Amino acid sequence: MKSSGSTSEQSRVYNERIILHLVRQHPEISRVSIAERTGLSTQTISVITSSLLERQLLTIVGKVTGRRGQPSIKLSINESGAYGLGINVDRDHISAALLDFSGACVLLLEREVSFPSEELAKKIAQDLIEEVKATLGASWSKVQGIGLARPDYMDSWLDTLVTDSDQRANLDGLKAALKYWQSDAFESWLAELTGVSCFCENDAVAAATSELLLASDSPKRHFFYLFVSTACGGSLVANGECYFGAHGKAGSFGLIPTATGKHGKWILEALSLSSLRRFLMANQVVWPDNEGWHDTQYAGLINQWAAEVALEVTPALASVIALYDPEAVLIGGRLPAPVLAALIDRLESTLASHSMLPLPEIRVAQTGYTAGVLGAAVLPLYETFAPQQNLLLLSSKEK
């Protein structure tokens, strides 16, 4: 489909979102500063900010003093002007998050599960949403939508990813129960349950989107996001937006074969919590609690697992760097902090011997352990308020 041009309404919406994004990045910014940073006319900024103030998306937090003429007002995001609700359904947990319009997390809830069926997922999600409604009260009307983040291929690679002994005893039955997740039925059910639009992405894309909107420092515009949970996935961000490719599968890092197959044929099997669990079980060591990961008895095992997995994924990661040239590789998800630190250290050293190109910074994503559910909650805010370039494209069918 050819796309070109834009209508005045599309331009207005885009400019509105540009201003919102700028105010989000620079709280207490003045209209004069907005004009200097955007190049928009004073009249355009005045009209748009007046509308945003009227709709309670912006708030006045003071006046700029020391200038000639009438003092300019300072603008910030109105935290209670809008909310984003997110549900993250994963292979080992179901969680919910509520974000206010500033991006602050108002409520975070989580329930542990193991490869949830339709019935269990609906029951848990409904309970979590009721808690969110009770928290918001009359402000529920300000929820812009519900975001759903979940992994692709929930019913695949069960022989590798399932570590629960009871479930392993009947993998065929589990696979049949998980076939439900091949459709968008849960997405439709959430929209019907809540009465708001549902925005669905896989967990890696949702996590990358959270980095774009919630990063406290200057966000990167070209980065590769690695999301590690029970399995792993990736997302490409190009020029400040997620890149999906021709068939919506760009960034599918987990579907690249591993170097030797020692921890699984595919990267999603090797770079995963399941892989780490299998490794500890093979060494007859129990999965520790959060503080236990810092115990010295785990240090050697953590380094060994990190070294082996880094070797499995380095050729693929070197290819991503060569083909895409990202500013950074961000790793988020649910790996314990000491394990993630060891993995990054090993990746940096192995990549140095696999690439002649300048290597990007490899670091922990800012949203970290809660990246999946915060990414889900970001989706409705991002889709409703972020300055995406495709807003300016006018489809040929709409002309």
Per-residue pLDDT of the chain (399 residues; tens, 9 = 90+): 343 445 577 788 889 988 998 898 889 999 989 999 989 998 999 999 999 999 999 999 888 766 565 568 899 999 999 999 999 999 999 999 999 999 899 999 999 999 999 999 999 999 999 999 999 999 999 999 999 999 999 999 999 999 999 999 999 999 999 999 999 999 999 999 999 999 999 999 999 998 887 776 656 789 999 999 999 999 999 988 899 999 999 999 999 999 999 999 999 999 999 999 999 999 999 999 888 899 888 999 999 999 999 999 999 999 999 999 999 999 999 999 999 999 999 999 999 988 788 899 999 998 778 999 999 999 999 888 877 655 333 332 333
Give dist(CA 273, CA 99) in Å, integer.
27
368 neighbors 332 (Cβ within 8 angstroms): yes
Residues 345 and 318 occupy one common structural domain: yes
Are 72 and 105 members of one domain?
Answer: no
**What's this model's pTM, rounded to 2 decimal places?**
0.89
Same domain, 97 and 200: yes
The residue segments making up the domain with residue 166 are 82-205+375-385
Per-residue confidence (pLDDT) for residue 50, from 0 to 100:
94
What confidence score (pLDDT) does residue 319 get? Answer: 95
Count of structural domains within the chain: 3
Q: Clarify whether residues 164 and 108 are in a common domain.
A: yes
Residue located via tokens 């076939």: 179
In 232-353, alpha helices (H): 267-270, 273-282, 296-324, 337-352
Enter the tokens of residue 120: 């269990």
SS3 call for 234: strand
Amino acid 69: pLDDT: 52
pLDDT score of 5:
45
Instruction: State the CATH number of the domain containing residue 180.
Output: 3.30.420.40
What single-letter DSSP state applies at residue 284?
T
CA 388/CA 382 separation, integer angstroms:
9
The count of residues in the chain is 399
- Of 77, 102, 125, the domain-final residue: 77
Contacts of 228 (CB under 8 A, 6+ apart): 271, 272, 273, 331, 332, 333, 334, 335, 340
- Residue 147 in any domain: the answer is yes
Cα three-residue angle 395-397-399, rounded to 5 degrees: 80
Give the pLDDT of residue 257: 98
Indicate whether 286 belongs to any domain.
Answer: yes
- Residue 67: give its domain's CATH number: 1.10.10.10
Q: Residue 71: what pLDDT?
A: 61
Q: Measured in Å, how far apart are the chain's first and last C-alpha atoms?
A: 12
* 328/348 same-domain check: yes
281 Cβ contact list (under 8 Å, min separation 6): 163
Q: Is 187:198 a contact under the CB 8 Å cutoff?
A: yes
Among 271, 189, 292, 187, residue whose Cα is nearest residue 229: 271
Q: Name the domain boundary from 58, 77, 96.
A: 77
Q: Is 170 inside any structural domain?
A: yes
Number of Cβ within a 10 Å radius of residue 154: 22
